Amino acid sequence: MTRIGMILGSTRPNRAGEQVARWAFELAAKREDAEFELVDLRDFPLPHLDEGMPPSFGQYAGEHTRRWAEKVASFDGFVVITPEYNHSTSGVLKNALDYLFAEWNNKAIGFISYGAHGGVRAVEHLRVMAGELMMADVRAQVVLPFATEFENYRTFKPGDYNLPAFDTMLDQVIAWSQALAPLRAPQHATA
């Protein structure tokens, strides 16, 4: 079964993303074409990149890095739930992406964004990072502006009109995760 990690990309107190992640996970869990797991970056506290070697070497010294690498490696694809801070994504999400390399390679990634303008600028930056990490970003995206999807800019109350974009994004993430599976298969030496 295809495994999709849904990464909550904010650790801020009173974060809006927790409501969004819960909504997305509950919807995704109803599907039968993949398994979903919510991954909260609060559960993976990573100091500002503190590894002595570049992530592409795969030589992780820190237990926190090895734990994060094991979690990321366990998935075939990802959905990232991102806020928009200062026209980009959160620092904690950027740091979590930067910690690893091979564990992200040849996996699909989709985005759910929220913020004053729906978080679209954060996703623009994440798409560039995904390309460098050898990930396939899908076209469909869920955009959740504070003005229309959050009552009083605090309580998440998404309209049902978001569901087609959500379903399409998941369809694409699952399909691309499956299509990329041969590239993730371990290479066997021939005798």
The proportion of the chain whose per-residue pLDDT surpasses 90, expressed as a percent, equals 96
Q: Residue 190: is its pLDDT beyond 80?
A: no
Question: So what's the pLDDT on residue 113?
Answer: 98
Q: Residue 191: is its pLDDT beyond 70?
A: no
- Selection from 137, 126, 138, 75 nearest residue 98 by Cα: 126
Q: Give the CATH H-level superfamily of domain 3-184.
A: Flavodoxin domain (3.40.50.360)
Q: What is the pLDDT of residues 11-30, one digit of tens each?
A: 999 999 999 999 999 999 99
Q: Residue 176: is its pLDDT beyond 70?
A: yes
Question: Region 38-59: what's the mean pLDDT?
Answer: 96
pTM strictly above 0.85: yes
Question: Within its chain, how far is the Cα of 182 from the centroid?
Answer: 21
The answer to whether the CB of 3 falls within 8 A of the CB of 176 is: no
Question: So what's the pLDDT on residue 97?
Answer: 98
SS (H, E, C) the chain: CCEEEEEECCCCCCCCHHHHHHHHHHHHCCCCCCEEEEEEHHHCCCCCCCCCCCHHHCCCCCHHHHHHHHHHHCCCEEEEEEECECCECCHHHHHHHHCCCCCCCCCEEEEEEEECCCCHHHHHHHHHHHHHCCCEEEEEEEEEEHHHHEECCCEECCCHHHHHHHHHHHHHHHHHHHHCHHHHCCCCCCC
Question: Region 79-104: what's the mean pLDDT?
Answer: 97
Question: So what's the pLDDT on residue 186?
Answer: 77
Question: So what's the pLDDT on residue 10?
Answer: 98
Q: What is the pLDDT of residues 120-175, one digit of tens each?
A: 999 999 999 999 999 999 999 999 999 999 999 999 999 999 999 999 999 999 99
